[in-house]
Structure 1
């Protein structure tokens, strides 16, 4: 199965080379019979005109059937989604005024004062 698949792939990849191979194999026949410039030997065509025709025919066959330029144009469309954001309304909050200050203040702050400087441990090996 793999050999058949490889053979088909090679055939597809080498398809543009077939007219050149045909020209090389049938060189004498193309040069003497099919050449259009047999009467003009100074051009030294030797059947190259026939090769160019067969290469042009192969390239035409490779083009897609629908070759409209309009259908080949790729268009980009940008879609923009948006949502209207309502403006932020700041409302004032009124607190009740308190005239008495509470006397129950608690000092929860503590500080350790030390003059020691941290030194990393030393290892003696």
Structure 2
């Protein structure tokens, strides 16, 4: 069941890119025909459009249908929140409680930096 669902989801996400890819392949195969029949800029040879204007219109048409929401549902609609669990806020104990606890002597000898013994204060410069 999971594999079927994943396959359907994969196909749903790959439809639009494959559709646009088919337009590009069709354009590459039939460049001469599209240039002669559909090109708007036949008069302007210096633009070297070669039917790209028609290709842009076709790809823009597919974008407009998806933006209107008629062809494809937006991702927000597809992935609605199905499950929500409120988290409880918890408070951490104050760090000073841990620092002020008495440290055993055997540990103090091995540990070189002790919060309680010394606090470094940088020298003051008199201007």
TM-score > 0.5 by shorter chain: no
RCO higher in structure (CA 8 A, sep ≥6): 1
What is the TM-score normalised by the length of structure 2? 0.41
TM-score normalised according to structure 1 size: 0.42
Larger radius of gyration, structure 1 or 2? Answer: 1
Which structure has greater helix proportion?
Answer: 2
